[in-house]
Amino acid sequence: MASHGISRTSGTLVRSEEQRQNELQQIATYKDLVDLVNTKVAERQYTVEVLGLVTKLLNENPEYYTIWNHRRRVLIALLPATPPDSDDASSPERPHEFIDGDLQLTFALLRKFPKCYWIWNHRNWILRKGESMSDTKLASRLWSGELQLVGKLLHADSRNFHAWSYRRDVVAQLQRLQAKAADSAAVRGLVESEFEYTTKMIKANLSNFSAWHNRSKLIPRLLNERQANGTTRRKMLEDELQLICTAINTDPFDQSIWFYHQSLMSTISSDCPRESMIVQDLSNGERLRHYAREMEYIKEILEDEADCKWIYESLLSTASFYVQVEAGTKAFTTLEMQSWLDQLRRLDPLRRGRWDELGRRLNL
């Protein structure tokens, strides 16, 4: 099965009898371990020995999320209860050894299972626990280290949305610490560099849903940090539209690019919530101009790629935005819209029901 253009390989299915017996043995051993851990936890034996058993089990099967819960119970019991004072002169240089140990464990597991929710989750929990036991300086170091780590993981697989989502959280934590230290320059610097990071990732690979998504989340924040006025905001919108149009022109068959285009179009609409807006005071006239220009631009691509369904979908979507602002427009006709819908039916017959519903919604 291909997902977003990347095909997945299937494992080997043929096993010899010997391999099958080995597997049965492994399954029995695993089940015994599960029973042992569950029993100990039920008996509330929150000891280092049980921690070791839990580690062994998680190395076998990190997807068993209940065991991660058990681990956290054991750790809470084993870690010192009272956090040190933030300004304690004897504050540790390194996090507690259990924190360190779990950071290493989750790191090793992430390299093998970079898309397992529970490992990311636990690592996040560990860091927050670690922060609560450290002074601000160590906490900053912990979270900065995380930023580097997630950077490396994204370098290995730039489309891992777990890593992107984790990155956003890490950045938020760093900004919280920077705000606590009243370091607004650092906060702004971080937003700028994160924005640059999405630019870099997109240049390396246009087809990156997460990078585009992150970019869309960062832009309103960036404009706030820059204390941008109306002119600056309009420039940003223009630049982003120019960027995405260049991308569409380069590869109109890539879905992630159209998603970002759609998100930019939605920031122009009057329905857009204020915190997601790029330009906060668009007039209807400006809106119509944007929509018209986009439609003209996209139609030009049809000259060379008449069989690209995203183009027709986008035309219809922009047309419906347009019509929300000015119902009786002469910019395009109902006949044109009908023809685009027909093209969609031709190019993607499996989604007939969807196109019919779209037609009803647009009164075609």
**Which of 124, 144, 249, 320 is the binder for other proteins (CB under 8 A)?**
249
Q: Which residue is associated with the tokens 């246009």? A: 206
Residue 239 binding other proteins, by CB under 8 A: no
Residue 347 binding other proteins, by CB under 8 A: no
Q: How far is CA 29 from CA 22, 38, 40, 59, 183, in A?
A: 11, 14, 17, 14, 54
**Which of 37, 191, 247, 265 is the binder for other proteins (CB under 8 A)?**
247
**Total residues at the site for other proteins (CB under 8 A)?**
16
The number of C-alpha atoms within 13 Å of 223 and in the hemisphere containing its C-beta is 23
Task: Name the segment binding other proteins (CB under 8 A); options: 108-116, 204-212, 223-231, 282-290.
Answer: 204-212
Which of 151, 176, 177 has its CA nearest to residue 164?
151
**Whole-angstrom distance, CA of residue 55 vs CA of residue 344:** 53
Q: Least distance from C-beta 247 to other proteins, angstroms?
A: 6
Contacts 24+ apart (CB under 8 A), 122-131: 122/68, 122/71, 122/72, 123/166, 124/166, 124/169, 125/72, 126/99, 126/102, 127/103, 127/173, 129/75, 129/79, 129/99, 130/95, 130/96, 130/99, 130/103, 131/173
- 3-state helix, strand and coil shares in percent for the chain, rounded to the nearest 5: 75, 0, 25
Residue 132 binding other proteins, by CB under 8 A: no
> What is the three-class DSSP state of 94?
coil
Q: Least distance from C-beta 250 to other proteins, angstroms?
A: 5
Residue 307 binding other proteins, by CB under 8 A: no
Q: How far is CA 21 from CA 18, 87, 135, in A?
A: 5, 59, 53
- Of residues 139 through 198, those in contact with other proteins by CB under 8 A are 155
Residue 49 binding other proteins, by CB under 8 A: no
Residue 251 binding other proteins, by CB under 8 A: yes
**Which of 97, 157, 305, 307 is the binder for other proteins (CB under 8 A)?**
305
Of the two residues 28 and 204, which places its CB atom closer to other proteins in the complex?
Answer: 204
Of the two residues 260 and 321, which places its CB atom closer to other proteins in the complex?
Answer: 260
Of the two residues 172 and 204, which places its CB atom closer to other proteins in the complex?
Answer: 204
**Which of 78, 138, 186, 206 is the binder for other proteins (CB under 8 A)?**
206
Which of 190, 280, 284, 292 has its CA nearest to residue 241?
292
Residue 32 binding other proteins, by CB under 8 A: no
Q: Least distance from C-beta 327 to other proteins, angstroms?
A: 32
Q: Least distance from C-beta 249 to other proteins, angstroms?
A: 5
Which residues of this chain interact with other proteins, rule CB under 8 A? 155, 200, 203-206, 246-247, 249-251, 253, 300-301, 304-305
